[in-house]
Chain A
Amino acid sequence: MWARVWAIFIKELKELSRDRMTFAMIIMIPLTQLMLFGYAINTDARHIPVGLVDLSQTSESRAVEQAIVATQSVDFVSRYASIKEAEVAITKGDISAVLYLPADMTRRLFSHPLYDHQQPYSALTRPIGQWIVDGSDTVIAASIRALRNLPLDEINGLATARTAPSFEVVQYYNPEQRTVVNTLPGLLAVILTMTMILFTSAAIVREQEQGNMEFLITTPVRPIELMIGKIAPYVIVGLVQVTIILSMGHWIFAVPIKGGLLSLFFASLLFIFASLALGLVISTIAKTQLQAMQMTIFILLPSILLSGFMFPYDAMPVAAQWIAEALPATHFMRMIRAIVLRDANILLLGKDALWLGLFTMAGLAIASLRFNKKLE
């Protein structure tokens, strides 16, 4: 039995190493995706281009403008004479928001309790200006909403002791709040999902498409031998990708890898096996490589959107959480973030590890049952 598995394994490795395109993709997918996502994905928006309609034209209005620029959240890229013109600019997409300072802004400012702490807060208190925001991008809208309570006392130089915060927030992990620290482990899960499922499902479907399977079935090869021999090379491929992503993350993006490397590779192996098993199941359903690709995307999209890579798992509705629980990527995402960012030990993550193990076994069982040694 192992002689046959070995023969298939060697054959598959040879084919793989001679397929330049696939070989390049194994290396290039993690490299390029990591560079792209590592630099591009950032959820705290800075320097948002905005416009200004200043009907007040006083030294106070200029002071307010400067106080806002000092936050670095927005850049005033253009000025408009009327709110009408500014609205057109928002619709065209030139700016994401506009700050409207009315003609009586100075009067409003002086009577504002945040400016002059002697002033009482009353129903007559009016905001000194208005932000008109293109709300279609929620991240940008949220950044501008954060400007609502801009402390105005800094403008008059009277800055008094601010009211004490109700809570204190102590950040244990990722103290600088860099997005890439959270993205990188997630990216590992996404890239592995994509390549592992696609490569295995395509590898088996390819034998069918190219007619190799018709010959193989008439040989004494058993389905389980064929499957083990075919997926074993991709375990190596997966580990190579894990190594590329983690070392790049470590050296280029300075993502701290807190947990042990052993836990890390054990978790990765579990996930690689689960993904390969899923790929095998797909290969027993798909008739062509194109179908295998479509099914992979069908799995890949929820893996990106629901696993906690894009949006926090806890913020999702219960139904979405159920779907997420079924995906191996969710469990891996949880484990890998815990290990990389929070120095968790694999033993702490027993539940997720167990689930990946069960998933793999169920996948293998389904695949060998479905893979009968007939052509139909």
Chain B
Amino acid sequence: MNTDSTKEQQVVEYAIEAQGLTKRFGNNIAVNQFDLRIPKGSIYGFLGPNGCGKSTCMRLLTGLLEPTEGQIRILGENLAGHEESLKQRMGYMTQKFSLYEKLTVRENLDFVGAVYGLSRARRKIRIEELLTLYDLEHQTKQFAGSMSGGQRQRLALACATLHSPELLFLDEPTSAVDPENRREFWERLFDLCSVGTTILVSTHYMDEAERCHALAIMEQGYKRADGSPKTLMETMPATVVEVSGDELRQLKQNLIQHSEIMSAAQIGAHLRVLVKQEVQDPLGFIKQLSAGRNAVLARPSLEDVFVACTGGRHVG
């Protein structure tokens, strides 16, 4: 294989490519100069607090909103001009439950199937498959409006995947779901991923973001960092030092006065301190400031990365 053909193959390997993606609402810039490359068959995460532009970005990528600036290519085609044909290949689960509360589970699925143009026979088979897969066999006659958060979410996922899309957008799919169901949900996402579906998922949970193959950390419409969770942790522009001892609250107040320190947060019996990269000996620097308390270097977490990238603001 020569280099040229490798390059060419890489072009089609991306499920989503966007350059300079910008969306303005009046004076408010919701998405700002966003570049994105999501390889096919991966799970990609948008991590950021409420209002940072996750939903807007997804709406731009699904063609629901027109970008103010920027180019979007979906599954190897320009989105502009191919919206209708691409719709058959994409699935979208909205942040707010967007199915019909006065229809039953089966009626909702049947409606979505018909709208996607599945034949009656195909629809029947596919709906049975999904009812089993998403554990909804016993709710087929229940109105969607009377279901629990977890059940609704499974129904919404079933509807979004009914036409077997190659690319799936999930906007904060687990925000109304308990932790147990969240774990199960992610198992299902990995199942979808293993059969080749590309998934773009937004979240404000660190533990979910950590499961993604790659993610973008977003703040106020900007992408602050991106890459795999591992890379992000290794290359973050700060060092983590954990301090333990007495009167940590007092110490925290002192530490955050120093411009070399990005943040200090009390976690259990420790104070977790982020020291900026430019400090030569971060451990020595903290030891000297913490007056005899015990200080050690710690492994960075995704939360640390987030704090380091966004300048100290907390998520969610």
Contacts and interface: CB of A to CB of B under 8 A. Distances in A.
Interface of A: 3-4, 6-8, 10-11, 14-15, 18-19, 210-221, 373-376
Contact of A375 (B64, B87, B115, B117): B64
B107 A374 contact: no
Contact of A374 (B65, B87, B96, B116): B65
A3 B83 CA distance: 21
A215 B117 contact: no
B98 A7 contact: no
Given A4-B117, A374-B64, A375-B64, A220 B87 contact: yes
Contacts of A217: 64
B92 interface: yes
Interface string B38-73: 000000000000000000000100111110000000
A14 B94 contact: no
Contact of A4 (B84, B90, B97, B115): B115
Given A215-B92, A219-B116, A220-B117, A375 B65 contact: yes
A155 to B, nearest CB: 72
B134 interface: no
Contacts of A373: 83
Given A6-B114, A218-B64, 10 more contacts: A3-B117, A4-B114, A4-B115, A8-B111, A214-B94, A215-B159, A218-B62, A219-B115, A220-B117, A221-B115
A214 B94 CA distance: 7
B186 interface: no
Contact of B100 (A4, A15, A219): A15
B277 interface: no
B29 interface: no
A218 B90 contact: yes
Contacts of B87: 218-220
A6 B117 CA distance: 12
Given A214-B64, A375-B65, A376-B65, A14 B97 contact: no
11 contacts: A6-B114, A11-B100, A14-B102, A14-B107, A15-B102, A214-B96, A215-B159, A219-B87, A220-B88, A373-B83, A374-B64
Contacts of A6: 114
Contacts of B103: 11, 14-15
A212 B98 contact: yes
A19 B91 CA distance: 29
B100 to A, nearest CB: 6
Contact of A211 (B64, B91, B97, B116): B97
SS of A interface (majority): helix
Contacts of A14: 102-103, 107
A7 B102 contact: no
B112 interface: yes
Contact of B98 (A3, A15, A19, A211): A211
B216 interface: no
A373 to B, nearest CB: 8
Given A211-B97, A375-B59, A7 B65 contact: no
B160 to A, nearest CB: 8
Given A4-B117, A220-B88, A375-B65, A215 B99 contact: yes
B74 to A, nearest CB: 12
Nearest to A218: B92
Nearest to A376: B65
B117 A212 contact: no
Contacts of B94: 211, 214-215
Task: Kindly list the 7 A-B residue pairs having the minimum CB-CB distance in the complex, ordered from nearest.
Answer: A7-B114, A215-B98, A211-B96, A218-B92, A211-B98, A18-B102, A219-B115
Nearest to B156: A215
B91 to A, nearest CB: 8
Contacts of A213: 98
Given A220-B84, A374-B66, A212 B114 contact: no
Contacts of B88: 220
A288 to B, nearest CB: 15
A21 B90 CA distance: 37
Contacts of B101: 210
A3 B107 contact: no
Contact of B114 (A3, A18, A211): A3
B109 to A, nearest CB: 12
Contacts of A211: 94, 96-98
Contacts of A212: 98-100
Interface string B184-211: 0000000000000000000000000000
Contacts of A210: 98, 101
A220 B92 CA distance: 12
Contacts of A220: 84, 87-88, 115-117
Contacts of A214: 59, 64, 94, 96, 98
Contact of B102 (A19, A218, A221, A374): A19
A376 B66 contact: yes
Contacts of A15: 100, 102-103
Contacts of B115: 4, 7-8, 216, 219-221
B209 to A, nearest CB: 24
B34 to A, nearest CB: 18
Which of B88, B94, B103, B115 is packed against the most chain A CB atoms within 10 Å? Answer: B115
Interface in B157-203: 159
B168 to A, nearest CB: 11
A212 B112 CA distance: 12
A90 B103 CA distance: 60
B93 to A, nearest CB: 8
A134 to B, nearest CB: 53
Nearest to A215: B98
B196 to A, nearest CB: 20
Interface in B229-278: none
B140 to A, nearest CB: 15
A333 B98 CA distance: 41
B121 to A, nearest CB: 13
Contacts of B63: 218
A179 B25 CA distance: 56
Contacts of B111: 7-8, 10-11
B47 to A, nearest CB: 22
A69 to B, nearest CB: 61
A3 B118 CA distance: 10
